[in-house]
Amino acid sequence: MSFQFKPGFLLGVATSATQIEGGDLGHNWNDWYRRGRIKDGSDPARANDHYNRWREDVDLMAGMGLQVYRFGVEWARICPAPDRVDEAAIARYREEMIYLREKGIKLLLTIHHFTNPIWFEERGGFLKKENLKYFLDFTELVVRSFGDLVAEYITINEPNVYATNSYYFGDWPPGEKSFAKALTIMANLAYCHIRAYELIHKIRREKGYHDTKVSFAHHLRAFDPARPRNLRHRLYAKLLDHFFQGLITQALFFGEFSWPLRAPAPVARGEYCDFIGLNYYTRTTVSRFGDGVRAGAPKNDLGWEIYPEGLIRCAASLYNLLNRSIYITENGTCDNRDAFRCRYIYEHLKVICEAELPVARYYHWCFCDNFEWSEGESARFGLVHVDYETQQRTVKRSGAFFAAMIKAGGVTPELYEEYVKEQTYHH
């Protein structure tokens, strides 16, 4: 039941700016809330008030012994208008980054994590080729503003999820329901990643830095047929895998845009990732062209299947394409009572440690309970409990387990007995 982390393996947490910072900013999620589109009516302007409470949160991270931190900056806060830069916001972010470094926490900065300034959205966002320069201008601003403090970057978080939820299912802003538009978004985001990859390297190289690492955070899931012998189920599983993640992987990794993806401008074939960033949560069991959950499988509070082996399957599929060090840039579960999160973390870390793959980092999603997009405040993923009314933070039992694992360099028989043994999943 016990296991040790491999030498050099680092553990930490991930967050996104919109989900923790708060503030009634001019972005698409504040607008989505005003349209009444958040399931529990939660206002992202509240979130965790991290923008003001950042020092308290960093102290909490340091107290838990976290070694790495993936975080984002808010485009709408830094650029409230297309031709305006808020220097005070840049100074405030720099202050936090300096403090994190002083605490010995390594930084991984995400440039785009689902949220657009409303001025960008009103111009058509990533759907229009002429708008892509705004994202690249923001990328340049970020790297020039923070490049002396941050060497490692995620250009875009989960481009396939953003395209699917915002432009195919219509559950996220701007609420479109078009397969063609979703494909255009995927292609344009892949192009943006490639150009941002080149740009970040160019800027930091000019500044004399040689430790730059750039990637994107890729959301992958295992797709399996509901009945393996059913030809239709197998076909749908292959099609979903291809359209949701296979096509875009080739574009993001290598600049290969295969039909029906079309690059908005010419791209040279190459390798556009310095490490593999993988966000993994669940498996989809396929009986039709859509989502599905295996009958009788363990599930979290959102009904997602808990399937640790899928993490290794997905990581291996990416590593077989491109031999790079692997960062698990997100992995976690919605467990509102913190009843099974210790077991979830244990099982996912165990398969990582038992695999031959070069997994170098694990970023748990997420640090503290936060604004969970269209679910609002109803879905708790954090290692730290947040009372949204008072903003009081309390480290959960799973957070204590996470800290104890870091300190022990793995899971000892004693830690397993104390935190994992008695926990069970929903079925």
Q: What share of the chain is helix, strand, coil (3-state, %, to 5)?
A: 40, 20, 40
Would residue 234 count as lying in a domain?
Answer: no
| pLDDT tens-digit readout, 251-280 | 999 999 999 999 999 999 999 999 999 999
pLDDT of residue 288: 84
Phi, psi of 202 (to 5 degrees): -60, -50
Domain extent, residue 190, equals 3-215+341-420
Q: Which two tokens stand for residue 180?
A: 């063609």
Would residue 411 count as lying in a domain?
Answer: yes
pLDDT of residue 272: 98
Report the 3 state secondary structure along 303-334.
CCECCCHHHHHHHHHHHCCCCCCEEEEEECCC
pLDDT bucket at 290, cuts 50 / 70 / 90: confident
| pLDDT tens-digit readout, 369-403 | 999 999 999 999 999 999 999 999 999 999 999 99
pLDDT bucket at 237, cuts 50 / 70 / 90: very high
Query: Distance between CA atoms of 246 and 256, rounded to whole angstroms?
Result: 11
Residue type, 376: G
Would residue 10 count as lying in a domain?
Answer: yes
pLDDT of residue 367: 98
Mean confidence (pLDDT) of the chain = 97
Q: Give me the mean pLDDT over the 211-239 stretch.
A: 96
Query: Distance between CA atoms of 229 and 236, rounded to whole angstroms?
Result: 13
Would residue 311 count as lying in a domain?
Answer: no
Query: Distance between CA atoms of 285 and 203, rounded to whole angstroms?
Result: 44
pLDDT of residue 361: 98
Count CB-CB contacts under 10 A for residue 163: 24
Q: Tokens 């229009």: give the residue.
A: 128
Would residue 201 count as lying in a domain?
Answer: yes
Please report, for the domain that includes residue 148, its CATH number: 3.20.20.80
| pLDDT tens-digit readout, 75-110 | 999 999 999 999 999 999 999 999 999 999 999 999
The alpha carbons of the chain give a radius of gyration, in whole angstroms, of 20
- Does 426 have pLDDT greater than 90? no
| pLDDT tens-digit readout, 44-66 | 999 999 999 999 999 999 999 99
Q: State the DSSP H helix or E strand holding residue 2, giving kind and residue range, or none if neither.
A: none
Q: Which residues contact 292 (CB under 8 A, 6 or more apart)?
A: 226, 284, 285, 286
Q: Which residues contact 20 (CB under 8 A, 6 or more apart)?
A: 47, 48, 50, 57, 367, 368, 370, 371
| pLDDT tens-digit readout, 193-204 | 999 999 999 999
Q: Give me the mean pLDDT over the 341-349 stretch.
A: 98
pLDDT bucket at 419, cuts 50 / 70 / 90: very high
Would residue 72 count as lying in a domain?
Answer: yes
pLDDT bucket at 427, cuts 50 / 70 / 90: confident
pLDDT of residue 360: 98
pLDDT of residue 280: 98
pLDDT of residue 292: 86
| pLDDT tens-digit readout, 308-337 | 999 999 999 999 999 999 999 999 999 999
Query: Distance between CA atoms of 351 and 81, rounded to whole angstroms?
Result: 46
Q: How far is CA 16 from CA 75, 80, 245, 325, in A?
A: 12, 18, 22, 23
Q: How many domains does the chain have?
A: 1
Would residue 185 count as lying in a domain?
Answer: yes
Q: State the DSSP H helix or E strand holding residue 209, giving kind and residue range, or none if neither.
A: none
pLDDT of residue 23: 97
Q: Where are the alpha helices (DSSP H) in 147-279?
A: 159-167, 179-206, 231-241, 247-254
The residues that are catalytic are: 158
Would residue 261 count as lying in a domain?
Answer: no
Residue type, 242: H
pLDDT bucket at 302, cuts 50 / 70 / 90: very high
164: left (phi over 0), alpha (psi -120 to 50) or beta: alpha
